[in-house]
Amino acid sequence: MNRAAFLARDEVISVDYTYVHRWEDFSFVRGAVNAMRQLVGAGYQLIVVTNRSGIARGYFSADQYHALTSRILKSLREQSIEIVDVHHWPHHPSGAIACWAVDCDCHKPALGVTLRARADYDLSLLEAILIGDEPSDIAACVGRAFLVRTDNQESQCELGDADAVFDSLADCVASLLPSHIPLVAKATL
């Protein structure tokens, strides 16, 4: 079975300028690209997970989201980082666009995305890690989950169910990888 690192997009790998949907407005968080490269080098398959309720709210289109995602993936490939998949959720129960105004089983913290990824990529969720910036990211049912503190009010909370809290993705990865201690799961699935 393969190991995966599930990474939240906004505030973990990219700066959150609120409903970013154009390449011109996108930027990586300092140190995030190198941290992703280190995770790949350590044998993790990278899967980006992101709520994109701006689609349901009518702030940008699904086509605009996909165009930006393509540019992000191209930029990372040019830097020798392969993202295995990007799971996004355009839904929001009170969205303005009827076809997206639904509640789904994928929107974080629901488990739909991790369970589908497990099947699609033959993943060991016990050996998987998740790095997010909100407590809702942490309920993804993986071996270990970490919070990154950001300007987001929710990321300033207590440790909660997270295994640890860090100031950035780079700090989290630096803490995890040099120890050569296996990432052992705290629970069984």
In a domain, 146, yes or no: yes
Q: Give the CATH number, domain containing residue 64.
A: 3.40.50.1000
In a domain, 186, yes or no: no
Three-state secondary structure string covering 133-180:
CCHHHHCCCCCEEEEECCCCHHHHCCCCCCCEEECCHHHHHHHHCCCC
**pTM given for the model:** 0.81
In a domain, 90, yes or no: yes
> What's the domain count of the chain?
1
In a domain, 137, yes or no: yes
In a domain, 40, yes or no: yes
**Domain extent at residue 63:** 3-176
In a domain, 189, yes or no: no
At 188 the pLDDT is 37
10-residue mean pLDDT series, the chain (189 residues): 88 88 92 96 91 66 87 96 84 60 62 75 86 78 84 60 90 82 42
Cis peptide before 109 (omega within 30 of 0): yes
In a domain, 164, yes or no: yes
In a domain, 182, yes or no: no
